[in-house]
Structure 1
Amino acid sequence: MAHNQETLAKTPVIKFKGQDFNFLRDHCLSRGLLFEDETFPAETSSIGLQLLQGKNLSRLMWRRPKDILEGKSEPHFILEGASRFDIQQGEAGDCWFLAALGSLTQNPQHLQKILMDQSFSCHYAGIFRFRFWQCGQWVEVVVDDRLPVLNREYLFVHPRNNNQEFWPCLLEKAYAKFRGSYLNLHYGFLPDALVDLTGGVVTSIDLHSFPSDLVMMLKTAAKAGSLVTCGTPASPTGEARRMEDGLVSQHAYTVTGAERIQYRGSWEDLIRLWNPWGNTEWRGHWADGSPEWQETHHQWRRLLYENKDDGEFWMSCQDFQDNFSCLYVCNQFPVSLNHGNMPPERWSQMMFKNHAVPGNTTEELLRDTQFIFSVPESMEDNNVVMSFNIMLQNLKAKDEKFPLTFKVFKVDPQVRFSPFSCFCCCASFQPFWKRLPPTFFSQFRNAVKGIVSKTKCNLTKYFSLSPGTYVVVIATYREVEFLLRIFLKMPDGDRNPSSNFSLTTLKASLLENGSQGSIFHKYAHQGLDIDATQLQSLLNQELLRGTPGDTFSLDECQSIVALMDLKANGRLEQEEFSRLWSRLIQCQNVFQNIQKRSGVFLSVDLWKAIKDADFLAGTSVSNELLDLMTLRYSDHSGRVSFPSLVCFLLRLEAMAKTFQNLSNDGKGLYLTKMEWMNLVMYN
């Protein structure tokens, strides 16, 4: 296992195969050359012989768009905006990728992240670049613009008639390079393409058991900016083939619309779909040219109906559910699709990138494969989502199943464990699994169940978990690198407009809120000192946004005054307050940096807070003390508020310095009863 299990920070774009687009393009331009990609050569190996069986390979050529058009017209990268109608599938069975791409065209902002700003005119050097997402990072793939042509016909995706836009052809080539060859695009999984194009999380819906309002669900997904695709069941032969009703078996489609319209005095639910083949459409009810449209009020017909041979068509919801087997919805965060017009949900996200190796024993399986998280107070269904993404380089063509297995176990509140068990290694480190009592392992036979969908390289599972602390345990039959994302639904009362929720919301940096002197005099009694009540008002008004339940209590402020009160008079003078203020700035930075990565500050982060606070430099604590501090400063779900963190760090500093001042040998100290009572009862 890799040792870095901390949440991921933002990372730069990775250059696939180490190729730098700007360097390669500038090199070609300076020499008047057109780029030729040696890492994905214009050879049959880049295609795959299986896709070329029965074809006359002597007629196979690799030609650039300008050469293909032979001067009859100029090629364009994008002309008047990118559209799903620019795509027409070729010989490869990559409808799963093209259907996802067709959905992405409905979200121009996200599509632009993939396509970049490119053209065949400005700085053209026969080189293009595209980006795909993998394991928490965007990967930039460079390709030349030589496309495989057989008998003067495009072999794979090609521009539609009278539309010389080449972005789909070049994007498909880049994706083929990303996955190894065009052959590796021949049959695949819709969720994989959705994740690769967006970095989102996929919700899989079984259409045969989905009870909710389908039109409302799809409108909710569209409003959330989701990508929506679907697939038909396989035929008895296991191959994609056109059926009598115009649908294609074992084929992927893009969902492009949903409407409820008036028809024959009642309401009819309709779904609009697009076929990447581009010229094969549904022939049943509500198809192009069907009598249903002629009987529909002209208002609806004018808004919805277009009789074009473009692969897009309408069908009733009932026909859709009868003929399609699954629906996939992809978004940056999970979307509960049965909420209709309810306010949008907010999620926190924790990300862990790791390396798994096979294990044979219970101890080997548990060693370094633990991921601990806490569920806040949310009793809603599907309030936790776990998503695994496997590095493509770890997979082989013959692999037929997902290489990881995992289980989720709730930690017994009576079982105390150290945060160090998951997140660090040190000389005194004792693995979590070695310190658990034997009774804990009985829980491992009753793992939490959830709804799951998986492919060869992506797995997503939904859980409905009660508040508490949980452990994810992972096992694998082969060595793989993976990304685990844990999404936690935030309680209704804590929702705010940010993407990742913060259960304690801090104001801007304390350094930006004015000098500590002016703030002190704003609240000080006669400008001389402040007591606990005044400190409470100061902290809550100057530090926090007033989130209910996470403000400084009077008891906490009395504790802070006692810790910083050098004269033991129950008040803080300006010099004492100045010392407190410098520590508050550090506490704020520590809290925000940790909470920024995971969306919530948990008790397992206390050790890192100690490490990151400069005023605690040189202070060390035992695992046993951290266990006690977890009980003292976190709530029942394992969350630590900002006021609790401040009290913890200030007390730790005060107690460490008190021992240092009172100890003669650094190993122990002797106190009279009165000294002991004064120390523990006030400070």
Structure 2
Amino acid sequence: MPPPTSGLFVDPEFPPCVSSLVRGGGTPLSPLCDRITWLRPQEIFASPHLFPENSTLGLGKQGILGDCWFICACFALHKSNKLLHQVFPPGQYTWKDPEYTGRFTCRFWRFGRWVDVTIDDCLPCLGQKLCFSHCQDQGAFWLPLLEKAYAKLHGSYESLWAGQVVDALVDLTGGLVERWSVEDAEDNVRKKMLCRMLDLKDRCAISCSVLHSKEGSGHLGEFHAFTITDIQHGVTKYGQELILLRVHNPWGRSCWSGAWGKNSDKWSLMDKSDSAKFLNDLKDGEFWVENEEFLQEFNEVTMAFPVDEMDYIQSIWTDCPLLHTQQLHGSWVKGQTAGGSRNNVSFADNPKFWLVVKELSEVYLALMQRPQSEISADCTHRSQLRSVISKSYPLYAIGLHVWKVEKRRFNLQKTILSPVVAGTSSHSYDRQLHLHCELSPGYYLVIPSTFLRDTEGDFLLRVFSSEPIILSEITSHQPIVKTSEDDVKGTWETREVKGQLKKDVNAGGSRNFSSYCLNPTIPFIVSSKTRLVRVTLKQHCQGKHCHAIGFHVYMVPYDSGLSPFVQEPRASCVPHSYSPEVSMVCDLCPGQYIIVPSTYLPNQECDFSVFISTKMERKSIQSQETLGKILKEVSVVKVMN
């Protein structure tokens, strides 16, 4: 009899019920939900353990969930204990420990930082067996627990039904991942790919995919991912040299009947001792493929960059450690910094960055977009925001271009019309893309863009290099309303509202985060006699440390039951700027409004003041502040000439 499970932790944010399995249906998983039960590992296996007792049984099997892409990416953890312990922190209490509570924590790299995801160990089963991922050692449970944490991060198991190996590898490693198209590559490029795969097979995870079915030598499926577990040289009795790739199907069964399939006559061309070495090593779902046949049957290869003993990412092309790295967040904002591709005259409006290279350097520039409606990592553990779950994460077509300039004072329009030093050949619907280049010392202009103008989104720009570099944003002046001298003359009344942004209370971050609605709101009224209002947000910096700040102005809906956040802002002082204060003049229609100050990232604490200025003869602003101790109002009168 299994030990009792009452009193153990049950995750209220991702409970063992149908809502954690599906969020809207549309996949083959939905009809099976009524048959799925939730069991803890000690109810499934007599003596459960986290990791396989025999490391050769560490390969994962897929189950009935269509997440082969995630299972294949987990092979990176099977190859590296360092990565495994990063994602599955050691020291957690398991089923044999008296302190065991049924709670586990996993980590994933999301948009620039590692995020903890805590779950219970109730796992979906059909009958008494796991119905989703599991290890070949059926008593090892690290993989189904990691899969559950990843499902929680995405909102449901159903959200994992389809995806990209490249995205899962980034989430599990926090590094760089390269994807190669096999079928479109020229012969010399294919040879170069195969050479690098041979060199790196023991140091990094390699996956391959079939994107469309072919009339080939096996039933490889369509849109299906596999893992390359080994690459070996072989020689026939007649001296013919071979390169054989060992491929693992996460279905856990062989689907290959090609020239070097398990029961093929081809093995008789080798000495028995040699063929035995190849065949005896095969695990469930594995098969050998000769390199030419591999290039015919598979469409893509995905390779994670290796990490050396010092935790530095290594270039997959030169083996050079990328010792220097920097990253910056940014946004494409409609009407301001969402300039679109180079086909648009507004391309120069896109966010711009300086990259200063000090020595001849191998450089990788990685651009990652935040999928729309994705849950902020800061909100993953907030029960009040559990309902903010996105069924799918649509992506925009993004691109990245780099120019070298002679000095920092340059003609922007002439530069962007000149040839690039490096750039994407086309905008692509990828979550992350990167450029690889060798850059000489000097200044470089870097511009990330979406294909269509006025496409709003959030992005992360990372640079990895072999030599020292400096990455910084090229700041621009905040847009203001044009005013005449008569407009600004006279006596203005300024009301100062002081407040604090506090971690886990009201520091909700920018609109790119679901926690944005937690930010303070400062109400005010615009009368029919006044339209121009100057709003200034000042952060009280400690020393020289400033957060990126900005604000939005919303009109309060006439229907009191509606939230102001359901509509677009009437004025926006963005993108967020690393400066002590930001300001703009707003041309507003009469009505009730709120100002929402924010830092770019959530949970960044600071004291702030919001100054609301209007002419005294136009009685236009009436404070209705109701935030108690967090905010207090000070009245100041200024004379503006």
TM-score (normalised: structure 2): 0.60
Candidates 194, 197, 202, aligned match of 2:177: 202
Between the aligned partners of 2:417 and 2:114, the Cα distance in structure 1 is 38
More helix by share: 1
- How far 1:251 sits from its partner (Å)? 0.9
Say whether residues 1:219 and 2:198 are aligned partners: yes
User: What corresponds to 2:465 in structure 1?
Assistant: 488
Q: Relative to structure 1, is the Cα distance of residues 400 and 66 closer, same or farther in structure 2, using a 3 angstrom cutoff?
A: same
Q: Relative to structure 1, is the Cα distance of residues 90 and 390 closer, same or farther in structure 2, using a 3 angstrom cutoff?
A: same
User: What corresponds to 2:279 in structure 1?
Assistant: 305
Candidates 221, 226, 233, aligned match of 1:248: 221
Residue identity opposite 2:243 in structure 1: D
Which runs of structure 2 are paired with 1:73-472 in the superposition (5 Å)? Answer: 73-80=46-53, 85-117=58-90, 118=92, 119-122=94-97, 123-160=99-136, 163-208=138-183, 209=185, 210-222=189-201, 225-235=203-213, 245-263=218-236, 264-306=238-280, 308=282, 310-331=284-305, 332=307, 337=316, 344=320, 346-360=322-336, 369-376=351-358, 378=360, 383-391=362-370, 394-395=373-374, 397=391, 399-402=393-396, 404-411=398-405, 413=406, 415-417=407-409, 437=411, 440-446=412-418, 448=420, 449-450=422-423, 456-463=430-437, 465=439, 467-472=441-446
Q: Please tell me the root mean square deviation across aligned C-alpha atoms, in Å.
A: 3.4
Q: Relative to structure 1, is the Cα distance of residues 180 and 390 closer, same or farther in structure 2, using a 3 angstrom cutoff?
A: farther
- How far 1:189 sits from its partner (Å)? 0.8
Does the 8 Å CA contact 1:384/1:488 hold for their aligned counterparts?
A: yes
Q: Relative to structure 1, is the Cα distance of residues 182 and 464 closer, same or farther in structure 2, using a 3 angstrom cutoff?
A: same
Residue identity opposite 1:488 in structure 2: S
Deviates more, 1:188-197 or 1:279-288: 279-288
Residue identity opposite 2:209 in structure 1: G
Residue identity opposite 1:441 in structure 2: Q
Aligned residue for 2:70, secondary structure, equals: helix
Q: Which runs of 5+ in 2 are unaligned?
A: 340-344, 375-389, 471-542, 546-641
Between the aligned partners of 1:39 and 1:403, the Cα distance in structure 2 is 33
User: What corresponds to 1:508 in structure 2?
Assistant: none
Between the aligned partners of 1:61 and 1:35, the Cα distance in structure 2 is 17
More strand by share: 2
User: What corresponds to 2:39 in structure 1?
Assistant: 63
Does the 8 Å CA contact 1:450/1:463 hold for their aligned counterparts?
A: no
Residues 325-355 of structure 1: per-residue CA shift (max 9 Å, x gap): 111111256755555xxx6455532222334
Does the 8 Å CA contact 1:212/1:338 hold for their aligned counterparts?
A: no
Does the 8 Å CA contact 1:347/1:487 hold for their aligned counterparts?
A: yes
Does the 8 Å CA contact 1:65/1:146 hold for their aligned counterparts?
A: yes
Residue identity opposite 2:329 in structure 1: K
Between the aligned partners of 2:33 and 2:230, the Cα distance in structure 1 is 42
Between the aligned partners of 1:450 and 1:334, the Cα distance in structure 2 is 22
Residues 42-82 of structure 1: per-residue CA shift (max 9 Å, x gap): 2222111334566354433222122234xxx2222223255
- How far 1:243 sits from its partner (Å)? 7.4
How many positions carry a matched residue from both structures?
428
Residues 131-184 of structure 1: per-residue CA shift (max 9 Å, x gap): 111122111111111112234443311344x63111111110111011111111
- How far 1:254 sits from its partner (Å)? 1.1
User: What corresponds to 1:637 in structure 2?
Assistant: none
- How far 1:269 sits from its partner (Å)? 1.1
Aligned residue for 2:201, secondary structure, equals: helix
Does the 8 Å CA contact 1:353/1:482 hold for their aligned counterparts?
A: yes
Between the aligned partners of 1:204 and 1:271, the Cα distance in structure 2 is 18
Does the 8 Å CA contact 1:63/1:148 hold for their aligned counterparts?
A: yes
Residue identity opposite 1:311 in structure 2: G
Does the 8 Å CA contact 1:179/1:392 hold for their aligned counterparts?
A: no
Q: Relative to structure 1, is the Cα distance of residues 175 and 399 closer, same or farther in structure 2, using a 3 angstrom cutoff?
A: closer
Does the 8 Å CA contact 1:232/1:323 hold for their aligned counterparts?
A: yes
Does the 8 Å CA contact 1:353/1:484 hold for their aligned counterparts?
A: yes
The alignment-based identity, stated in percent, is 29
Between the aligned partners of 2:469 and 2:346, the Cα distance in structure 1 is 36
Between the aligned partners of 1:152 and 1:57, the Cα distance in structure 2 is 15
- How far 1:397 sits from its partner (Å)? 4.7
Aligned residue for 1:285, secondary structure, equals: coil
Q: Relative to structure 1, is the Cα distance of residues 187 and 447 closer, same or farther in structure 2, using a 3 angstrom cutoff?
A: farther
User: What corresponds to 1:568 in structure 2?
Assistant: none
Does the 8 Å CA contact 1:134/1:389 hold for their aligned counterparts?
A: no
Between the aligned partners of 2:241 and 2:404, the Cα distance in structure 1 is 47
Between the aligned partners of 1:228 and 1:454, the Cα distance in structure 2 is 22
Does the 8 Å CA contact 1:385/1:488 hold for their aligned counterparts?
A: yes
Aligned residue for 1:305, secondary structure, equals: helix
- How far 1:370 sits from its partner (Å)? 2.0
Aligned residue for 1:253, secondary structure, equals: strand
TM-score (normalised: structure 1): 0.56
Does the 8 Å CA contact 1:348/1:489 hold for their aligned counterparts?
A: yes
Which structure has the bigger radius of gyration? 1
Residue identity opposite 1:306 in structure 2: N
Residue identity opposite 1:324 in structure 2: F
Aligned residue for 1:103, secondary structure, equals: helix
Q: Relative to structure 1, is the Cα distance of residues 74 and 198 closer, same or farther in structure 2, using a 3 angstrom cutoff?
A: same
Q: Relative to structure 1, is the Cα distance of residues 44 and 470 closer, same or farther in structure 2, using a 3 angstrom cutoff?
A: same
Between the aligned partners of 1:243 and 1:152, the Cα distance in structure 2 is 37
Q: Relative to structure 1, is the Cα distance of residues 60 and 206 closer, same or farther in structure 2, using a 3 angstrom cutoff?
A: closer
Residue identity opposite 1:197 in structure 2: L
Q: Relative to structure 1, is the Cα distance of residues 50 and 154 closer, same or farther in structure 2, using a 3 angstrom cutoff?
A: farther
Aligned residue for 2:229, secondary structure, equals: strand
Does the 8 Å CA contact 1:98/1:276 hold for their aligned counterparts?
A: yes
Does the 8 Å CA contact 2:75/2:205 hold for their aligned counterparts?
A: no
- How far 1:97 sits from its partner (Å)? 0.8
Aligned residue for 1:216, secondary structure, equals: helix
